[in-house]
Structure 1
Amino acid sequence: MATPHTTSRTRPTKVKKHARTQKRKRDDVDAEKLQDAVSQIDLNSTHTSFSDLPLSAPTVEGLKSAHFSTLTDIQAKAIPRALQGSDILGAAKTGSGKTLAFVVPVLENLYRAQCVGPDAGLGAMIISPTRELAIQIFEVLRKVGGKGHLFAAGLVIGGKGLQEERDALSRMNIVVCTPGRILQHLSQTSTFNVDNLRMLVLDEADRIMDMGFKKDVDAIVEYLPPDRQTLLFSATQTKRVSDLSRLALKEPEYISVHEAASAATPKTLQQNYVVTPLPEKLDTLWSFIQSSKKSKILIFFSSGKQVRFVYQSFRHMQPGIPLLHLLGRQKQTARLEITQKFSNAKHSCLFATDVVARGLDFPAVDWVIQVDCPEDADTYIHRVGRTARYEKEGRAVLFLDPSEEEGMLSRLEQKRVPIERINVRDKKQMSIKNQMQSMCFKDPSLKYLGQKAFTSYVRSLHVQKDKEVFKIENYPLEEFASSLGLPGAPRIKYLKADPTEVKELKNRSRMETALSESESEASEGEEGEVSTKKNGVRTKYDRMFERQNQDILADHYSKMVRNNDDDELDLNKLDGEQIGDDALFDVKRRIPADQALSSDDEDVEQLSGAIIEPDQLGPRSINIPGTSAPLILDSKRREKLLKSKKKVLKLKDRGNKLVFDDDGNAHQLYELENEDDFRARGAADEQRERFLLSERERVEEADLADKALAKEKRREKREKRKERERAEEDGGKADEDGETGEDLMANFAADAEAGEDGDLEQERPKTKRPKKWFEQDVVEPEEEEREIGTFDEMEAAAARLLG
């Protein structure tokens, strides 16, 4: 028998982990029993709790751990029908629990079908319009399905490497995604198979079916099998036949639990609107933030550039409440971090675009402020739905320009939205126009953000479909630019473009925009009009040499500087007759000029202060005040030079800096003496000796005066001390009651008088201590008391003490 192998290890070795085996179907699931229970559900009866429904044990455990017990209205009607396999169009108010209405059927239907493991393939696809909403849906799916279900669920929203998502997609049974990213995998990932897909869920379906995702959804549906179950949920559901036919729905059941309600918004939501002119919107917003520092506020703007400008401006002004901003152009990590911060904050203010208007559940939001009017009533309903969720209270305020009031109120009335008007208190209203102008003047980058914010806001007004609400000719754009701190309203060029085409251009990806631009440039090059490249082909080296520094001085910023050669364009006109290029917007800074001067010569004279000779033909000479020689104008380039105050200043003679002496006479800052006068007073060595001698005499005279002053102070101090001693001797002894006959007030006045000199020291009684055993009886000679007054006496005393 062989001896066992021994080692020096004192602890037992760990058992090697076995390789992960492939997930298999569960043997303990009675699918037939669950299926029979589901088929026997009475759809006409009312269900109040999840225990009334035939759900699997893992789902029941997950709902219990997540503290879900009572069914909401949309859940009570949608879940039983979805369990039986019907296609559903679900519409309910915001915050009514629509997410759980499709998460539970997805888990249960796949559980009964045993769609588990990589071999089963993808069983359910949940599509949301935004990344934040997709993350929220995935968290609910993980909480409910993480207590016993064996499904492999994943999140595909971008922000990560494409290869990493490709490897995970082949093993997923449930995927939560956004339209653009999942379409990219359907078209590019060969291992992604959707042939076994059983359920398709569209959350916020009306937004997904909108123009921005129309092409993506059509392409996604072509990849999916036709025999599937489709669920559509939203707060404002679409009923258009064209949308339903595109999704290939089979006899869908329309469930609208709040269709007969008196209001389309929750009853616990208090809704108000304020009629404030466009130039006063930022003043009203700042005043509101100052009065609500202990609240959680969500503020909506129509564009991301407005969000960035207002956030940066208010952050410099320090309102006293934490500020956050969220927009679609941010990176995914930053968006997740900001969303998490605002969710966990107790008091905070978030500036955002409509990217957070749908589906997101921020806990305990007190106020929803809409600074810019929403594009329609549905957008308004989704925005205000971020507060007053799950029967909690909330407040919403809408800022309306006087030109928007009538049209927007009629749209809200059609959607059964109750709203009341409130007024701003004049005492609480604060103006921040001066601060905005000061910040824009000091910070060019902030001024640039303000110009882009103005441009994006006017553009959002121009592309709106409802022209009865958004009448761009009625907006005071000049005053609005002034309220942003800008010196003038940027000039904007419009095109007679169809709003649908403009919105399609806005939603187009950057890659498609770049390809279209390159194709247009190539076609122009082939025609020989613009491009000078051979055969109209632009190589990567051409693009490399055409690149410019993308800072505030790049081309897109120089467009905001007005050229005098351009014609004036009225901001409030949409005729487009003065535009010759293909850009939708072309922003230039607008500088109001005096129209009294007509000729270029008079304009040059006004800006430079020069005297021009207009009768002269050819080169002209100009006498500019402050220059020694006249300036010759021999070209238009030299004439344009005079229109810049900075360049005219360089042409002028430099001045001399003067200083004034005690007599008030002006002298140059560095004034030298005449050399002849200096030599007339004698040699340099003799002048130096005379100077040193005169300074020595002056110092000695000052020393004698200081000694006399110190001697007089010592004499006065001695006299005051003697007077105090005499007063103490003549004061008498104490009486029986312990009182003395001296005048305490007089002593106090004398002490205060003596203390003004600062030289009087309080005398302490001297007690003679007994000598130690090692000390000798040495008789010290009595030293004559001396008063040290000058520096020489101090040196002599120090020398005596040192021996």
Structure 2
Amino acid sequence: MTFDQLNLIEPILKALKKEGYTNPTPIQQQSIPVVLEGRDLLGCAQTGTGKTAAFAIPILQLLAQDAAAARGYKHIRALILTPTRELAVQIDESFESYGRYLGLKHDVIFGGVSQHTQTLALRNGTDVLIATPGRLLDLMQQGYIYLDHLEMFVLDEADRMLDMGFINDIKKVIRELPSDRQTLFFSATMPPVIAQLANSLLYQPVEVTVAPVSSTAEKIEQHIYMVHKGDKMKLLAHLINEHKLDRTLVFCRTKHGADRIAKDLKKVGIQADALHGDKTQQARQRALQNFKTNRLRVLVATDIAARGIDVDNLSHVINYDLPNVPETYVHRIGRTGRAGAEGIAFSFCDAEERAYLKDIQKLTGLTIPVVTEHPFPMRSKAATPAADGQAPANQPQGQRNGKRKKPNRKPNHPRPAQQAQPSA
């Protein structure tokens, strides 16, 4: 299928062509027609599936088709609520790209910076507002934002909102929304609290489920390096230089660890910076921009800071620390292999992390191959790959992962009134 077959208006097709996009991803193919029909949507999909375009494109079309009726009004017509500042900025950039020929206004607001520029933009009126919960509520309480005439509401990354403690803020925002609206709800997972929230927000929704978290890892080439904790930095520098990696995202568990890794990489001549919640918004945006423009070879990030990072042609992700939540591993490596592309993930596993590795393999249903030949192997007998039931492997680049096991988890989400079917 091509975008031409989705009944999109010419200005949007022209913008998509300029961006080099011809074929919609599965979630775009299934979601865009549903939204254009005015239906509520429950989307179970994670970042990297093309989710932003799945709601941005039809929202722009619906607003553009009713632009004459809205001309002269300064009220907000569509609100996109998202958990992090980085993701808010990227969604705003998507609206800019897809709506470049429509003449609609869009603005983004988030905390960590002065509100002055943001309030000036709001005074002039906007069609689409992209916001993080804290700054949105703050400006609502100050009287800068009213949602009385809202036509469309998008709640993005709902499960991450829950993880970050925003669930009560979201409920406060929802109380201010008009009942006569179209709602689009997206979440990578559906824990009971999120399922309950979705049921309270949506009216006869169409459900679109794409790429369950356990299967997303299949298209990404993965390797495990068994290594002593004290040798991780030497191994990291070795892999970056050995594979001539120009743009690599490195994950660790703590903010302090991110700073230390970036500092140690700089000492050996590898340009790196850290991305985490303790950095100022300006510092975070600068680090991300430098990474996107190849001024940095390595960006070292914590999980919350990295959520929503969307960098084109990111070939490698390295897990310096394995996460203790297996779903987080899949989200991490999903930073590469975006929108159907292939990617490579290297992961370091020390003796204390072997239980995390077992949980990851249980969730994904994959036996991740272990690289047995590298300069800094873990030589303790108790920590050898065989001790963990691993199949030792020294696979060349391009070789696929080990034999798949049958996944043992099923998605948990509410039953919709109608389920969207993939187009032929």
Structure 1: distance between partners of 2:107 and 2:206: 29
SS at match of 1:146: coil
Identify which of 149, 152, 155 aligns with 1:202.
155
Structure 2: distance between partners of 1:271 and 1:235: 21
Q: Which residue of 2 aligns with 1:134?
A: 88
Structure 2: distance between partners of 1:117 and 1:281: 58
Q: Which residue of 2 aligns with 1:409?
A: 358
Q: Which has the higher contact order (CA 8 A, sep 6+)?
A: 2
Identify which of 329, 332, 338 aligns with 2:278.
329
Structure 2 unmatched runs, 5+: 379-424
Tell me the CA shift for residue 123 of structure 1: 0.7
Q: Which residue of 2 aligns with 1:77?
A: 30
Structure 1: distance between partners of 2:348 and 2:329: 12
Identify which of 420, 423, 428 aligns with 2:368.
420
- Judged with a 3 Å threshold, the aligned counterparts in structure 2 of structure 1 residues 69 and 302 are, in CA distance, closer, same or farther, namely same
After TM superposition, the structure 1 = structure 2 runs for residues 587-602 of structure 1, keeping only pairs within 5 Å, are none
Q: Which residue of 2 aligns with 1:387?
A: 336
The one-letter code sitting in structure 1 at the alignment partner of 2:288 is T
The one-letter code sitting in structure 1 at the alignment partner of 2:366 is P
Structure 1: distance between partners of 2:239 and 2:14: 45
Q: Which residue of 1 aligns with 2:198?
A: 244
- The answer to whether structure 1 residue 91 and structure 2 residue 44 are counterparts is yes
Identify which of 314, 338, 355 aligns with 1:365.
314
- Judged with a 3 Å threshold, the aligned counterparts in structure 2 of structure 1 residues 296 and 342 are, in CA distance, closer, same or farther, namely same
Q: Which digits, 9 at most, give the CA deviation of each residue in 1:516-541, with x for residues without a partner?
A: xxxxxxxxxxxxxxxxxxxxxxxxxx
Q: Is the 8 A contact 2:336 2:343 kept in 1?
A: yes
Structure 2: distance between partners of 1:429 and 1:83: 55
- Judged with a 3 Å threshold, the aligned counterparts in structure 2 of structure 1 residues 286 and 65 are, in CA distance, closer, same or farther, namely closer
- Judged with a 3 Å threshold, the aligned counterparts in structure 2 of structure 1 residues 412 and 197 are, in CA distance, closer, same or farther, namely farther
- The answer to whether structure 1 residue 222 and structure 2 residue 175 are counterparts is yes
After TM superposition, the structure 1 = structure 2 runs for residues 694-705 of structure 1, keeping only pairs within 5 Å, are none
- The answer to whether structure 1 residue 184 and structure 2 residue 138 are counterparts is yes
Structure 2: distance between partners of 1:81 and 1:398: 39
- Judged with a 3 Å threshold, the aligned counterparts in structure 2 of structure 1 residues 226 and 377 are, in CA distance, closer, same or farther, namely farther
Tell me the CA shift for residue 430 of structure 1: 9.4
Q: Which residue of 1 aligns with 2:376?
A: 429
Structure 2: distance between partners of 1:403 and 1:86: 48
The one-letter code sitting in structure 2 at the alignment partner of 1:85 is G
Q: Which digits, 9 at most, give the CA deviation of each residue in 1:605-639, with x for residues without a partner?
A: xxxxxxxxxxxxxxxxxxxxxxxxxxxxxxxxxxx
Structure 2: distance between partners of 1:347 and 1:392: 22
Tell me the CA shift for residue 102 of structure 1: 0.3
Structure 2: distance between partners of 1:425 and 1:250: 56
SS at match of 2:216: coil
Structure 2: distance between partners of 1:73 and 1:370: 28
The one-letter code sitting in structure 2 at the alignment partner of 1:343 is K
Structure 1: distance between partners of 2:128 and 2:308: 20
Structure 2: distance between partners of 1:295 and 1:417: 31
Tell me the CA shift for residue 324 of structure 1: 2.0
Identify which of 222, 231, 254 aligns with 1:271.
222
- The answer to whether structure 1 residue 301 and structure 2 residue 269 are counterparts is no
The one-letter code sitting in structure 1 at the alignment partner of 2:243 is S
Tell me the CA shift for residue 145 of structure 1: 0.6
Q: Which digits, 9 at most, give the CA deviation of each residue in 1:693-721, with x for residues without a partner?
A: xxxxxxxxxxxxxxxxxxxxxxxxxxxxx
More strand as a share of residues: 2
Q: Which digits, 9 at most, give the CA deviation of each residue in 1:15-37, with x for residues without a partner?
A: xxxxxxxxxxxxxxxxxxxxxxx
Q: Is the 8 A contact 2:324 2:356 kept in 1?
A: no
- The answer to whether structure 1 residue 285 and structure 2 residue 236 are counterparts is yes
Tell me the CA shift for residue 55 of structure 1: 2.5
SS at match of 2:351: coil
Q: Which residue of 1 aligns with 2:20?
A: 67
- Judged with a 3 Å threshold, the aligned counterparts in structure 2 of structure 1 residues 296 and 284 are, in CA distance, closer, same or farther, namely same
Tell me the CA shift for residue 253 of structure 1: 2.3
The one-letter code sitting in structure 1 at the alignment partner of 2:287 is I
Q: Which residue of 1 aligns with 2:118?
A: 165
Q: Is the 8 A contact 1:296 1:348 kept in 2?
A: yes
Q: Which residue of 2 aligns with 1:121?
A: 75
Tell me the CA shift for residue 328 of structure 1: 1.8
Q: Which residue of 2 aligns with 1:378?
A: 327
Tell me the CA shift for residue 424 of structure 1: 4.7
SS at match of 1:289: helix
The one-letter code sitting in structure 1 at the alignment partner of 2:28 is Q
After TM superposition, the structure 1 = structure 2 runs for residues 484-523 of structure 1, keeping only pairs within 5 Å, are none
Tell me the CA shift for residue 97 of structure 1: 1.2
TM, length-normalised to structure 1: 0.44
- The answer to whether structure 1 residue 338 and structure 2 residue 292 are counterparts is no
Structure 2: distance between partners of 1:309 and 1:346: 19
Q: Which residue of 2 aligns with 1:146?
A: 100
SS at match of 2:55: helix
Tell me the CA shift for residue 358 of structure 1: 2.4
Q: Which digits, 9 at most, give the CA deviation of each residue in 1:175-214, with x for residues without a partner?
A: 11111111111112x2422101111112222102335211
The one-letter code sitting in structure 1 at the alignment partner of 2:226 is V
SS at match of 1:102: helix
- Judged with a 3 Å threshold, the aligned counterparts in structure 2 of structure 1 residues 226 and 277 are, in CA distance, closer, same or farther, namely farther
- Judged with a 3 Å threshold, the aligned counterparts in structure 2 of structure 1 residues 283 and 67 are, in CA distance, closer, same or farther, namely closer
Structure 1: distance between partners of 2:246 and 2:367: 22
- Judged with a 3 Å threshold, the aligned counterparts in structure 2 of structure 1 residues 191 and 386 are, in CA distance, closer, same or farther, namely closer
Structure 2: distance between partners of 1:345 and 1:417: 35
Q: Which residue of 2 aligns with 1:100?
A: 53
The one-letter code sitting in structure 1 at the alignment partner of 2:80 is I
SS at match of 1:195: coil
Q: Is the 8 A contact 1:131 1:178 kept in 2?
A: yes
Tell me the CA shift for residue 419 of structure 1: 4.2
Structure 1: distance between partners of 2:296 and 2:164: 36
- Judged with a 3 Å threshold, the aligned counterparts in structure 2 of structure 1 residues 346 and 336 are, in CA distance, closer, same or farther, namely closer
Pick which of 283-292 and 321-330 moved more: 283-292
Structure 1 unmatched runs, 5+: 1-47, 432-803
Structure 1: distance between partners of 2:89 and 2:348: 31
